[in-house]
Structure 1
């Protein structure tokens, strides 16, 4: 089939290579605004034209290319109806989420952070909504409790390209079925904000460990404060035999051979790998017992008020000459 591919993110290049291997004619690639370097490089190596996503004439260019199929993979723009009607056969999207739940962006991270035991992959027809079109094919993958973001991305990379290839084959053979999504089951996930990546030490141990494994490499990392500096926590694990008790969340209360023991909202976890902003990752941080992680709001407000008072006094001195 003649395919125009609009894509970006972690799975775009793998999907492109699979479509080419299946002998489809990729007439052009439109990279997303972000995280598209692998896709652009792959398209260049294959001699496939790359159309800039910011071209005001993109719809005209796509019409001139006369695609039968418009394929979206982690594309970061909502396509208008005028674009969706360009292909002569269909416009479809390969989505790394279990629809109708996990619509939106960053859903792999959110699924891990939410402690989901499984992850869904979906290829669906596109409409003017967000991941709301009829489902063509779907696959469910188990998520093990010790698997982190990097492991799951590697698994999805192969599975999603296979699922996309299956959907395209069904469409080509006019054998694809359309399963409408139940809007009552729909949930939507928006782009992550910095506050979503900050560790709230008053949460349960399992919630904090899930957040860390959801954001670890190649993600941005779970963040916390140590003193007045920011810290990334790349790896942490639960202590399955840890007692439940109340104490200051974020307090270092012990040590193991693999790292310090930190109090959470219900028990404790072991922090195994961290990185100071601007520094190198370090295994088994050597924090002393009694070290407090996280930001105390009252302490931060007090420090800010003191700083403001100091600045006001300096201004008064300057005004007095």
Structure 2
């Protein structure tokens, strides 16, 4: 019987937990490394590693990556899986073995390179995304593709919902990859088509801000969903305040108001958009805290009524 392959997993936090659990259950894992995790997650992974006789090491910053090659040499894994590991792994470490490092990117490649493809696919109103397994190179997200495993984006998916869905799917994808490496003599792969490539930098305020005049109601909802919960919603100037809209839906009713102004108050706050549609704001965050539209209306009743009169 062929000896079980030993796989080291480099991860960045709880997104990788389902994959770690399944790979451990199937007895593939030999060691776990975590990059820049919070203390609670680092402690939890270290305890689990000790309990299962896995190697364990924390890489809290870029400088600590210099300790990785000696650690890998001491463990001698057959392959190294990366799941949301936050640091670029240099060529000097990749030279441990050709096609020994496999990254699992939570977005289709080469179209969605970058650290937050979940945000980008939702903001761009994609109907599907993917988990891409690819061999690693010394540049982020540019190694040869093994496969893109498609994942449907359902209506109403937020960043949080899609992240959980991808995390759960990642476990099976990682296990499939481990089994391929266990039994295949070679793994088919192909270079990425740079003509299709797009690299997205980490979102800034300009990327999360609602432009009432230029964005359609559907684009605004997509932005809100893509910012929930990591940014506590989409940033917006509304009712004379700087707010974050956490949950809203398109209201297919026309209006005669300036985009970004209050059209009406029902159980929701109904706001004019540039395409002559409205969005119904359900949950938002303001200086007083996170609250439902009803709670915000009760708190700001006089100010909102003045806006409607004007």
TM-score by length of 1: 0.82
- Specify the structure having the higher radius of gyration (Cα): 1
- The 8 Å contact of residues 238 and 261 in structure 2, kept in 1 or not, is answered as no
Q: 1:150 Cα deviation (Å)? A: 2.1
List alignment gaps of at least 5 residues for structure 2: none
For 2:261 and 2:48, locate their aligned partners in 1 and report how far apart those are by CA, in whole Å: 52
User: Equivalent residue of 2:8, what SS?
Assistant: strand
Match of 2:86 in 1: 76
* Counterpart pick for 2:274 among 265, 278, 300: 265
For 2:95 and 2:198, locate their aligned partners in 1 and report how far apart those are by CA, in whole Å: 26
Summarize the Cα distance change of 1:291–1:195 in structure 2 as closer, same or farther, 3 Å threshold.
farther
* Counterpart pick for 2:243 among 216, 231, 239: 231
User: Equivalent residue of 1:269, what SS?
Assistant: strand
Summarize the Cα distance change of 1:209–1:23 in structure 2 as closer, same or farther, 3 Å threshold.
same
* Counterpart pick for 1:176 among 187, 204, 207: 187
CA deviation map 1:15-59 (0-9, x unaligned):
2112101111322x2212256854651342242343231434222
- The 8 Å contact of residues 43 and 50 in structure 1, kept in 2 or not, is answered as yes
For 2:115 and 2:21, locate their aligned partners in 1 and report how far apart those are by CA, in whole Å: 23
User: Equivalent residue of 2:289, what SS?
Assistant: coil
- The 8 Å contact of residues 9 and 36 in structure 1, kept in 2 or not, is answered as no
> Following superposition, which runs of at least 4 residues in structure 1 exceed 6 angstroms of deviation?
none
Q: 1:9 Cα deviation (Å)? A: 4.1
Summarize the Cα distance change of 1:269–1:229 in structure 2 as closer, same or farther, 3 Å threshold.
closer
Match of 1:145 in 2: 155
Match of 1:212 in 2: 224
- The 8 Å contact of residues 42 and 58 in structure 2, kept in 1 or not, is answered as no
Match of 1:5 in 2: 9
For 1:36 and 1:14, locate their aligned partners in 2 and report how far apart those are by CA, in whole Å: 19
Where do residues 1-321 of structure 1 align in structure 2 (5 Å cutoff)? Answer: 1-27=5-31, 29-34=32-37, 37-38=40-41, 40-47=43-50, 48-53=54-59, 54=61, 55=64, 56-87=66-97, 90-174=100-184, 175-202=186-213, 203-226=215-238, 229-239=241-251, 241-243=252-254, 247-257=257-267, 259-266=268-275, 267-277=277-287, 279-284=289-294, 285-286=296-297, 288=304, 291=307
List alignment gaps of at least 5 residues for structure 1: 293-321
For 2:266 and 2:258, locate their aligned partners in 1 and report how far apart those are by CA, in whole Å: 19
Summarize the Cα distance change of 1:184–1:36 in structure 2 as closer, same or farther, 3 Å threshold.
farther
What do you get for the CA RMSD once the two structures are aligned? 2.3
For 2:14 and 2:286, locate their aligned partners in 1 and report how far apart those are by CA, in whole Å: 26
User: Equivalent residue of 1:50, what SS?
Assistant: strand
For 1:137 and 1:225, locate their aligned partners in 2 and report how far apart those are by CA, in whole Å: 42
TM-score by length of 2: 0.85
For 1:167 and 1:118, locate their aligned partners in 2 and report how far apart those are by CA, in whole Å: 21
